[in-house]
């Protein structure tokens, strides 16, 4: 199991960066995987379009930080647990990785921005979404969840507060 320090090092290697446009015509996620064992890992990073800004050079960055094996699954318009015909959810990404034989002890989640409209309209939806993905990952895995930031007024602070509260229910969750 990775320590909190190791998880933070992995998070530093793959920061959520510039926003890119999702391409609805190509709803397949971008998956970058490397099975080589290195100093830190295995780890799975799951992201939405906000993760797309650092795709160029990501493999080189992860290798230089001695992270591996790793699997980065990035999908524009990705929700935590809502599934649409065109875009798989983060929970779907976990199930796909496990079906392919990759079930790491550490997850880094960089998503939630596509769920803010639900958080704004439905009471207690943020804790329910967080609990859904944490239940899927399991209590025996280390999970880093990046907080949300938007330049416009949104429900990101409400989502981030739900993340902070979730650390009381999920001791394996780090934000």
- What is the full DSSP assignment across the chain? ---HHHHHHHHHHS---------TT--SPEEEEE----SB--EEEEE-GGGGGG-TTHHHHHHHTTB-SEEEEE-TT--SS---SS---HHHHHHHHHHTT---SEEEEE--GGGHHHHHHSTTHHHHHHHHHHHHH-TTSEEEEPPP--SSS-SHHHHHHHHHHHHHH-TTEE-
The residue that leads in pLDDT, 11 or 147, is 147
Percent of residues, the chain, with pLDDT higher than 90:
56
Average pLDDT over residues 130-155: 92
The residue that leads in pLDDT, 147 or 27, is 147
> Tens of pLDDT along 148-165?
988 777 899 999 999 999
């Amino acid at each position: 199991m990775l320590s909190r320090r190791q998880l933070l090092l992995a998070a530093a290697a793959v920061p959520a960066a510039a926003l890119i446009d999702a391409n609805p015509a190509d709803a397949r996620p971008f998956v970058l995987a490397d099975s080589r064992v290195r100093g830190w890992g295995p780890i799975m990073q799951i992201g939405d379009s906000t993760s797309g800004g650092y795709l160029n050079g990501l493999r080189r960055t992860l290798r230089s930080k001695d992270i591996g094996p790793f699997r980065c699954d990035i999908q524009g318009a990705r929700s935590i647990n809502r599934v649409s015909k065109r875009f798989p959810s983060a929970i779907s990404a976990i199930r796909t990785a496990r079906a392919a034989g990759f079930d790491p002890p550490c997850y880094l989640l960089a998503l939630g921005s596509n769920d803010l409209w639900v958080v704004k309209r439905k009471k207690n939806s943020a804790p329910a979404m967080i609990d859904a993905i944490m239940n899927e990952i399991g209590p025996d895995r280390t999970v880093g969840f990046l907080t949300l930031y938007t330049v416009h007024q949104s429900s990101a602070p409400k989502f981030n507060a739900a993340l902070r509260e979730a650390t009381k229910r999920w001791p394996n969750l780090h934000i």
